[in-house]
A and B are shown apart, each in its own frame.
Chain A
Amino acid sequence: MNSEIMEPQAGFAAWLPGVRQALPIVMGYLPVGAAFGVLAHKTGLSAAETALMSLLVYAGSAQLIAVAMFAAGMPPVSIVVTTFVVNLRHLLMTASLAPGLKGWSRCQLGLFAYQVTDETFAVHSSRFARGETGRAVGFAINVTAHAAWVLASWLGHLAGAAIPDVRPLGLDYALPAMFIALLTMQVRNGLHVLVAGFSGLAAMVLIQAGADRFSVIVATIAGATFGAGVESWMKRQSS
Chain B
Amino acid sequence: MDETAVFLTIVGMTLVTYGPRVAPVLLLASRSLPGPVVRWLSYVPTAVLSAMLFPALLLPDGGFALGLDNLFLWAALPAFLLAWKTRSFFGTVALGMGLVAAGRWFFG
**Interface of A with B (CB < 8 Å)?**
23-25, 27-28, 31, 43-46, 49, 52-53, 56-59, 61-62, 66, 70, 76-77, 79-81, 83-84, 87-99, 101-102, 104, 106, 109-110, 112-114, 116, 118, 121-122, 125, 129, 167-187, 192, 195-204, 207-208, 212, 215-216, 219-228, 231-232
Residues from chain B with Cβ under 8 Å of A228 in the complex:
36, 39-40, 43
Q: Which residues of B contact A167 (CB under 8 A)?
A: 104
Contact of B47 among A170, A176, A195 (CB under 8 A): A195
Residues of B within 8 A of A114 (CB): 18, 21-22
- For the complex of A and B, the 10 pairs showing the least CB-CB separation, nearest first, are A200-B54, A223-B47, A177-B96, A24-B89, A170-B101, A227-B43, A84-B16, A170-B97, A80-B12, A98-B28
30 A–B pairs (Cβ distance < 8 Å), ordered by A: A27-B89, A28-B93, A45-B1, A49-B3, A49-B10, A70-B9, A76-B8, A76-B12, A77-B12, A81-B16, A84-B16, A89-B51, A93-B48, A95-B24, A96-B42, A114-B18, A116-B21, A121-B45, A170-B100, A173-B71, A179-B53, A183-B49, A192-B46, A196-B49, A198-B47, A200-B53, A204-B59, A204-B64, A220-B44, A224-B47
If A62-B17, A170-B101, A173-B96 touch, whether A56 touches B28 (CB-CB below 8 Å) is no
Of A80, A109, A226, which one neighbours B16 at CB under 8 angstroms? Answer: A80
Contact among B5, B22, B83 for A184, CB-based, below 8 A: B83
With contacts A76-B5, A168-B105 taken as known, whether A102 is within 8 angstroms of B30 at the C-beta atoms is: yes
B107 at the binding interface (Cβ < 8 Å): no
Task: Return the CB mask of B11-41 against A: 1 if under 8 Å, else 0.
Answer: 1111011101111111011100100101111
Q: Which residue of A lies closest to B89 (CB)?
A: A24
- Let me know if A223 and B43 touch, CB within 8 A: yes
B41 pairs with A95, CB closer than 8 A:
yes
Cβ A28 vs Cβ B16 within 8 A: no
Contact among B28, B49, B80 with A122 in the assembled complex (CB-CB below 8 Å): B49
A167–B103 alpha-carbon span in the complex (Å): 11
Contact B96 A180 (CB under 8 A): yes
Cα distance, A58 to B18, chains bound together (Å): 9
Question: Known contacts being A114-B21, A168-B104, A187-B46, is A199 close to B51, with CB within 8 Å?
Answer: yes
For the complex, what is the distance from the CA of A222 to the CA of B51, rounded to whole Å?
10
Q: Is the CB of A186 within 8 A of B25?
A: no
A180 lies within 8 A of B79 (CB):
yes
Q: Helix, strand, loop or mixed for chain A's interface?
A: helix
A174 to B45, CA, bound (A): 19
CB contacts (< 8 Å) of A101 on chain B: these are 25, 29
CA distance A129 to B92 in the complex (A): 22
Knowing A28-B93, A114-B22, say if A176 contacts B72 (CB, 8 Å): yes
Are B92 and A181 interface neighbours, CB within 8 A? yes
Given known A122-B49, A216-B48, contact A27–B29 (CB-CB < 8 A): no
Closest residue on chain A to residue B18 by CB atoms: A114
Are B90 and A27 in contact (CB-based, < 8 A)?
Answer: yes
Distance in Å: Cβ of B81 to nearest Cβ of chain A: 9
